[in-house]
Chain A
Amino acid sequence: MIPLLALLALLIVIYLTAGALILYHLYKYRLPPTPLLLAHQSSDKTSLIAGIFILVSLAIIGAVLWLAISTPWGDIAATLQSLKR
């Protein structure tokens, strides 16, 4: 099960890198909040969306890690072995 856990860790690292890139872009290229531009926008939703993105990501990553820790990997290996037979 070690390859599976390594793959899991790799996917989470890739996700975090992409997520960081997205947040960087979101803040760098959003409309500058000058009064002139804000007069034409009801509100700037960048912070709200970034907040939702961070919270959901952390919640899911936390759940995945908790599942990885609490999973009886020996039982899964035995189940998969019995399936092969």
Chain B
Amino acid sequence: MINITEQEKIITIVRRHIWIFASSAIVFFTLALLPLAVFPILKVLLPIFQSPLTNLYWMLYGIFFLFLFLRFMIDWMRYYLDFWIITDRKIIDVEFLNLFNHKIVEFPVSKIQDVTVRVDGMMPVFLNYGDVHIETASENTSLEIPQIPDPNGMKDIILNLLTKGENHVRTQQVDANQA
């Protein structure tokens, strides 16, 4: 599970940009409302769609809606259960890959070597979201934080943490030398 000690300070918890979930919500609502909109037209155009076939139509729509709703729930979970916790000591990557695959990885801030930001595409540019790629010297060599809002702000937060960590180490070394 997620390990955060009492001494650690949480800087931020970040999820993907809300647009990523909103786009799948738009698809869900369009597909869910389409059969409702089509039914009156079908009823006028095809006399066979009068009762009792109407019941069959709504039953099939019900089943279709259930599975569409299931897909929508999985999309919401992917949005909600995929997050990154940035503390002053580490970055925790919590990834929901699918219903049977869940991953939690911790990256110490002190091992970070390189931070890259990528904003690619029309929507990312307009809505200011993108990927942050972090190279580390730890066992898990790289970390990708995809489609997060304000990726440049996130890069600044990480670089600030890195600078603070280096200053802290330098101060400790000076103290040790003076002692």
**Residue ranges of A at the interface with B (Cβ–Cβ < 8 Å):** 8, 11-12, 15, 18-19, 21-22, 25-26, 29-32, 34, 36-37, 39-41, 45-46, 49, 53, 56-57, 60-61, 63-64, 67-68, 70-72, 75-76, 79, 83
Contacts and interface: CB of A to CB of B under 8 A. Distances in A.
Interface in B45-67: 48, 52-53, 55-56, 58-59, 62-63, 65-67
16 contacts: A15-B66, A18-B70, A18-B99, A25-B96, A25-B102, A29-B94, A31-B2, A37-B10, A40-B12, A53-B73, A57-B66, A57-B69, A60-B65, A67-B59, A76-B52, A76-B56
Interface residues of B, number: 33
Interface in B68-108: 69-70, 73-74, 76-77, 80-81, 83, 85, 94, 96, 99, 102
B49 to A, nearest CB: 10
B4 interface: yes
Nearest to B58: A67
User: Could you tell me the dominant secondary structure of chain A's interface residues?
Assistant: helix
Interface of B: 1-2, 4, 6, 10, 12-13, 48, 52-53, 55-56, 58-59, 62-63, 65-67, 69-70, 73-74, 76-77, 80-81, 83, 85, 94, 96, 99, 102
Nearest to A71: B55
A43 to B, nearest CB: 12
Q: Output the residue of B55, B74, B102 with the most chain A CB within 10 A.
A: B55
Given A15-B66, A57-B69, A67 B55 contact: yes
Contact of B70 (A15, A31, A45): A15
Given A25-B77, A36-B6, A63-B58, 19 more contacts: A19-B70, A22-B70, A31-B13, A32-B2, A36-B10, A40-B13, A41-B13, A49-B73, A53-B69, A60-B62, A60-B69, A61-B66, A63-B62, A67-B59, A68-B59, A72-B52, A79-B48, A79-B52, A79-B53
